[in-house]
Amino acid sequence: MAYMWITGLTIFLTQILTLLVSECRAKVPAIIVFGDSSVDSGNNNFISTVAKSNFAPYGRDFPGGYATGRFCNGRLPTDYLSEAFGLKQSIPAYLDPMYSIQDFATGVCFASAGSGYDNATADVLGVIPLWQELENYKDYQRELEIFLGAEQEKEIITEALYIMSLGTNDFLENYYAIPGRRSQFTIQQYQDFLIGLAEDFVEQLYALGARKLSLTGLPPMGCLPLERATNFMHPDSCAKEYNDLALEFNGKLEQLVAKLNNELSGMKVLFANPYDLLLQLITAPSLYGFENAEVGCCGSGTFEMGIMCTPDHPLTCTDADKYVFWDAFHLTDRANQIISSYLFKDLKSNFL
Ligand SMILES: *[C@@H]1O[C@H](CO)[C@@H](O)[C@H](O)[C@H]1NC(C)=O
């Protein structure tokens, strides 16, 4: 009797242990990224566009010190998130021939600097539109299935964390910069148009098997150095109109996220909102050890980005860790790290 009891107990304990081990195993086997320069890890290097950054001083603080095509001196928030989830320390770009499906199996980036929700936004600089990012993702699924077999492929597709980070360009590079969309839509209508496109995109991702999604909100766009420098009403201060717009659009995104969580059964969508933290970095930089949050490190810091941010610009700062912005439009490695550790808390509790 005692023997049987012990055997029964052993089996029971073994079952519990097996359950615990499988529960503890990382439930995010890969991170899959869509969006714009906030998360593009180098896809634009391989297309014909001026929206590139695969030259010095970009990448000077990246592991190895070389320019990858990231619009940053170092790593992007998605790279830091990948590391935080116990995956690679940086997420490779899908179009980069240096990497293969073996690398992409634990993380892949389809994002393209200069892109947006709106096809017309990608057209401005001839970059990869969002629908094409999705087509590339479909190719990825097929390659992954060949590489791992259908069962393991499905597991990765289902358990992966999908990150979308875009929208700033739809407003700043498209709506307010060139006439097309402004003659068709009021700003209210344009926001709703973009929300509709975001919804379509998430539904397509869902139909393709995605179940864990982080949808990133807009930053305080009016505080980007370029927008400050061109704020003729109040020189050098944040453009309030653009910050208000970002807040309003984020409210709509948050509503969309609630709707998607209701409608897409089995899918969890998280609204990742860096707005408040970023505004705090910008308004109280010294609290975070920054010395400058008004201009970028590169060049004069007011307008240079991409090819304007040249290797030997005499004004480029020496220590980018003291700056919130790396160029006139993009954050430094250190700011990205702070943002990502903030976002990771929510992601971890929802997806791990
Ligand atoms: C964007 O372009 C793609 C490819 O041409 C097309 O299928 C899609 O309908 C377009 N989206 C919109 C909203 O026009």
| Residue located via tokens 């400050």 | 228
Angle 344-35-279 (CA atoms, 0-180°, nearest 5)? Answer: 55
Task: Among 121, 128, 131, say which to mutate for ligand 1: greatest number of ligand atoms within 8 Å of CB.
Answer: 131
Q: Are 214 and 270 in contact, with CB atoms under 8 Å apart?
A: yes
Residue closest via CA to ligand 1's atom 4 equals: 131
DSSP three-state, residue 279: helix
**Atom from ligand 1 closest to the CA of residue 200:** 13
Q: Are 212 and 351 in contact, with CB atoms under 8 Å apart?
A: yes
For residue 37, indicate whether it is catalytic: yes
Task: Among 115, 119, 136, 203, say which to mutate for ligand 1: greatest number of ligand atoms within 8 Å of CB.
Answer: 119
Give residue 119 CA to ligand 1 midpoint distance, Å: 7
Q: What is the pLDDT of residue 10?
A: 58
Residue closest via CA to ligand 1's atom 8 equals: 131
CA distance 107 to 99: 11
Q: What is the pLDDT of residue 25?
A: 52
Residue 127, Cβ density class (10 Å: 0-12 exposed, 13-18 middle, ≥19 buried):
buried
What values do phi and psi take at 46, rounded to 5? -110, 15
For residue 327, indicate whether it is catalytic: yes
Contacts of 251 (CB under 8 A, 6+ apart): none
Angle 316-327-118 (CA atoms, 0-180°, nearest 5)? Answer: 160
Question: Of 36, 170, 327, 333, which residue is the catalytic one?
Answer: 327
Enumerate residues lining ligand 1, CB below 6 A.
119, 131, 197
Instruction: Give the β-pairing of 107-109 and 212-216.
Output: unpaired
CA distance 54 to 32: 22
Residue closest via CA to ligand 1's atom 3 equals: 131
Contacts of 144 (CB under 8 A, 6+ apart): 101, 104, 105, 153, 156, 157
Looking at this protein, which amino acid is placed at residue 52?
A: K
For residue 313, indicate whether it is catalytic: no
Give residue 187 CA to ligand 1 midpoint distance, Å: 21
Q: What is the pLDDT of residue 352?
A: 87
DSSP three-state, residue 131: helix
Question: Of 37, 41, 82, 165, which residue is the catalytic one?
Answer: 37
Within 13 Å and on the Cβ side, how many CA atoms surround 328?
19
Nearest to 331 by CA among 34, 77, 123: 77
DSSP three-state, residue 287: helix
Give residue 259 CA to ligand 1 midpoint distance, Å: 23
Q: Are 343 and 271 in contact, with CB atoms under 8 Å apart?
A: no
pTM beyond 0.85: the answer is yes
Give residue 112 CA to ligand 1 midpoint distance, Å: 17
Q: What is the pLDDT of residue 16?
A: 52
DSSP three-state, residue 101: helix
List C-alpha distances in Å: 216 to 37, 64, 113, 156, 167: 13, 29, 16, 22, 9
Q: What is the pLDDT of residue 68?
A: 98
Q: Could you tell me where the DSSP H helices lie in 210-329?
A: 225-229, 240-263, 275-283
Question: Of 61, 214, 330, 333, which residue is the catalytic one?
Answer: 330
Each of the 352 residues of the chain gets a pLDDT tens digit; together they read 555 555 555 555 555 554 554 444 548 999 999 999 999 999 999 999 999 999 999 999 999 999 999 999 999 999 999 999 999 999 999 999 999 999 999 999 999 999 999 999 999 999 999 999 999 999 999 999 999 999 999 999 999 999 999 999 999 999 999 999 999 999 999 999 999 999 999 999 999 999 999 999 999 999 999 999 999 888 889 999 999 999 999 999 999 999 999 999 999 999 999 999 999 999 999 999 999 999 999 999 999 999 999 998 999 999 999 999 999 999 999 999 999 999 999 999 999 8
Average of per-residue pLDDT values in the chain: 94
Domains of the chain plus CATH, in order, are 28-275+335-351 (3.40.50.1110)
Cβ atoms within 10 Å, residue 27: 14
